[in-house]
Amino acid sequence: MENFVHHIEHREIAGGGKREVVTAVQQRDKEAIVAALDALDRTLTPDWPDNTHQVEEQGEDVEQFLKVLEQGGRAEMYIYLGDGGISRLMVKAEGDLVDMWVTNVSSNKVKQRFEQL
């Protein structure tokens, strides 16, 4: 846990959808989490058609994530982004500490957009 806290304390989560995800997770609000993740997905993968954005279909993952948090554990989930499943967003939380990043296998465009937010 110490490394996780250290990582969070030294990383600023800016706007562009990131802050909305953090706030929704801290409030333990499933619908707000799904909406914020969907908005972030669309920001990161704007060139892809609407039918490729499927965050809403990952609702069970969000429910499991919240269940672990409510039990006092460290929760994590991968969100497949709307670029055909190439890019993924990792969200980790413990208590009110929330961090997220795009995975190494994500497209360079998605990585660049994420870092610019």
pLDDT in tens, 14-60: 445 899 999 999 999 999 999 999 999 989 998 888 777 788 888 89
**Segment holding 80, helix H or strand E:** strand 74-80
pLDDT in tens, 77-114: 999 999 988 999 999 999 999 999 999 999 999 999 99
9 by Cβ neighbours in 10 Å (0-12 / 13-18 / 19+) ranks as: exposed
> Predicted confidence band at 68 (pLDDT cuts at 50, 70, 90)?
very high
| Dist CA 46 CA 48 (whole Å) | 6
Coil, helix or strand at residue 1: coil
